[in-house]
Amino acid sequence: MANIDNSTAARPLHILMFPFVAFGHISPFLQLSRKLSSSSAAEMRTADLPPHTAELLKLAVDNMQPQVAALLADLRPQLLFFDFAQPWIPSIAHPLGIKTLFFSVFSAAATAYLTVPARRNAEELAHPPTGFPTSTALSAGVPAYQAADFSYIFRSFGEAGELSVYDRVLAGLTGWSALFLNMEMESPYIHYIESQLSKPILLAGPVVPESPGGSLGPEWTDFLDRFSGGSVVFCSFGSETALSEDGVKELLLGLEMARKPFLAVLKQGPAGRGIFGGGGGGGGGGERLVREGWAPQQLILGHRNVGCFVCHAGMSSLVEAVVGGCRVVMLPQRGDQYLNARLFAGDLGVGVEVEREEDGGFRKEAVRDAVVRVMEEKGEEGRERFDKWRSFFMNGEAQERFLGEFVGKLKDLAYDKLSK
């Protein structure tokens, strides 16, 4: 627990949250805000933009600097949490006496592998940076197709001199102090990040999503209620991840081949139409419902008959699945998703990653094999690991302890008592 005196402990904190406007960023900020009795929101999101224009949103956020400076001068919070897309925040906030914290919504594994100072260029992305911890799932590096995908973070778009994603993240990490989550889960990676930075790292414990309000409507329960407990496979890739037409075909046929009832909700419906000759009925020993667009993911994962979640390995989705008691099959598509999958399947022993071809493609047989392996897991070791981490996420007493220590350190930082 942070060592603060009674007068400091009793003083309130004025905190401002400034997430990047993407679902995977807004959600962790919002969850932490609720923990700290604050709030955050956004009008525009990357999910609303086609991929080729998403980078323009970062430039639009950059152009908000005068308005943000005026807002900070008016509100004068003590602490400001900011995201990777706003590395200029410290230069605006510090002259006003506002302490800033870079809130990384990425796993510590992803940050340690991709965006520490030792990672100096895009040429060696297949291998971990200098000094990277040994005996982790990422110690041996990543396949060539993943390294090629990671090179995106070093690209500058638009005008010459524009910051790349790597530049933005590294500037945020070194701007003041960094916040990472799940010390118990990711300690080797966090210790490595600490060795790379000269700033304090604050740990809030896992930011676990609150139980959603409301209930599933009949458009979902009419299908799910027909099956036995834990027998349904739910498949969703979030609001921003779209598979290729061939990818959709291999995915759906693989789910069919697993001979389990499944519910698939995909961002792009047209690519999946016609694969089964229409309809949502049986065939191949199971039954299916394929939908396009959005679904109430947390409520579906919490349904008693859903036992497996096939997803893109976004961090929020993985945590929601474990909390919901669903085994996980991971089919990452880009960026930190690849590293999240290695963290969960490799380091934590939770879930299975779909086997990939050398070029990163996947076959229906690999989808089938992964689903069957998870749904019919017979070994006690795998179940024990899953139960261990689910208990960790759902341990209210531990969450309160993490939060108390975190708030104490925030007060130390706000009142100039945190060691630098």
- Rounded CA-CA distance 97/404 in Å is 24
The identity of residue 407, as a single letter, is V
Residues 55 and 157: beta-carbon distance below 8 Å: yes
Residue 82's alpha-carbon distances to 61, 100, 133, in angstroms, are 12, 7, 28
Exposure of 58 in the CB half-sphere (CA atoms within 13 A) = 22
Does residue 316 sit in helix, strand or coil? helix
Cα 329 to Cα 326: distance, rounded to the nearest angstrom: 10
Edge-to-edge strand list for the sheet holding 177-180 = 15-18, 79-82, 99-103, 177-180, 201-203
Beta bridge partners of 15: 79
- Say which residues have a Cβ less than 8 Å from residue 284's Cβ, sequence separation at least 6: 256, 257, 259
Annotation marks residue 83 as catalytic = yes
156 burial level (CB within 10 Å; 0-12, 13-18, 19+): middle
Catalytic one of 14, 48, 74, 83? 83
**Local structure of residue 95 (DSSP, 8 states):** G
d(CA 184, CA 392): 9
- Beta strand pairing status for 286-292 and 282-283? antiparallel
Beta bridge partners of 328: 309
Which residues have CB under 8 Å from 397's CB, separation 6+?
none
Two structure tokens written together for 399: 């969450």
| 312 included as an active-site residue | no
Catalytic residue chosen out of the listed positions 5, 25, 222, 412: 25
Please return the burial class of 342, using the count of CB atoms within 10 Å of its CB with bins 0-12, 13-18 and 19+.
buried
Helix (H, G, I), strand (E, B) or coil at 329: strand
- What number of residues does the chain have? 420
Q: Scanning the structure block, which residue is given the tokens 């100072």?
A: 117
Identity at 213, one-letter amino acid code: G
Active site positions, annotated: 25, 83
